[in-house]
Amino acid sequence: MPMKRRVSIVAEGVHGGIAFVALCILVLGVIPGMTQESFYLQGTIPARDPQAGPSLVDLSDYYTASLDNDWLVSIGVNLQALPKGIQTLAGVQFDVRGIVQLASTELLSQSTLGDQEKEKQYPRAVKGIPVGLKAGRVHFLQASAWSAGNGEKIGEYVIRFADGQTQSVPLLFQHSLIDWWVQTATDKPTNAEIAWHGSHKMSAVSLFKHTWTNPSPEKAIEKIDFVSAMTKAAPFLVAITCEPAPRAR
């Protein structure tokens, strides 16, 4: 079931309804009717650019943290330096506005949050991201927090086609992605490109563009699931872009 935050509020009583909404916002910081089934959103996410077309998959309802937020376990560790909005990175346009962070054994062990808060802030899976497009290739802007063994599967994307078929895109450490804390600006996985390089107060950091070639470009991709394998490394996603398949000659 998709993890939606923004739903319509139906006013059943003008005065009482307004007062109740205001009280919830003041005390709880949320609007009644919002669901947070598996995670809390930390920080403020910029509005989506009206120029962002459907090929730049809208992750608005799935972000777990803002780029400016210290979303892991250390102060000053964030992606504040990453340019926001529609950005061309490694030759691909992405909608860059937030982070979808999944859980891992190391992240959960180091987090000082309570058990319930951990489950909400660091989901093991974010399912049902809507796409609704045919695509020849899908580009993922991503990295991990912490490391794993060479070739170890730390997660996957599950591509869900409109005809009910599925395809797994495994996230293999050192192949699809590596730890975002890098030693040099040239550190990269074997099967991904460096999309952005910057720093935070503790380290140089990079994000990587991993590209999946769709074996069935004639079929519409309905949704995508993002799933952690619960290893030491915690995968995170910043953006997804779908590239149309070339027209047959």
Distance (Å, whole) CA 244 – CA 55: 8
247: pLDDT confidence band, cut at 50, 70 and 90?
A: confident
Q: Is residue 3 pLDDT above 90, yes or no?
A: no
What are 16-41's pLDDT values in tens digits?
444 443 444 343 333 333 333 447 78
106: pLDDT confidence band, cut at 50, 70 and 90?
A: very high
pLDDT, residue 40, reads: 78
Summarize the confidence of residues 43-57 as an average pLDDT.
96
The 10 Å CB-count burial string (b at 16+, else e) for 33-55 is eeeeebbbbbbebeeeeeebeeb
pLDDT, residue 237, reads: 98
166 or 41, which is more confident? 166
Q: What is the mean pLDDT of the chain?
A: 87
What are 168-193's pLDDT values in tens digits?
999 999 999 999 999 999 999 999 99
Contact 26, 151 (CB under 8 A): no
Q: Is residue 238 pLDDT above 50, yes or no?
A: yes
92 or 32, which is more confident? 92
Contact 58, 86 (CB under 8 A): no
Task: Look up tokens 């910043």; give the residue.
Answer: 238
pLDDT, residue 42, reads: 86
Contact 83, 106 (CB under 8 A): no
What percent of the chain lies above the pLDDT cut of 90? 80
Model pTM score: 0.85
Summarize the confidence of residues 232-241 as an average pLDDT.
98
What 8-state DSSP symbol labels residue 156? E
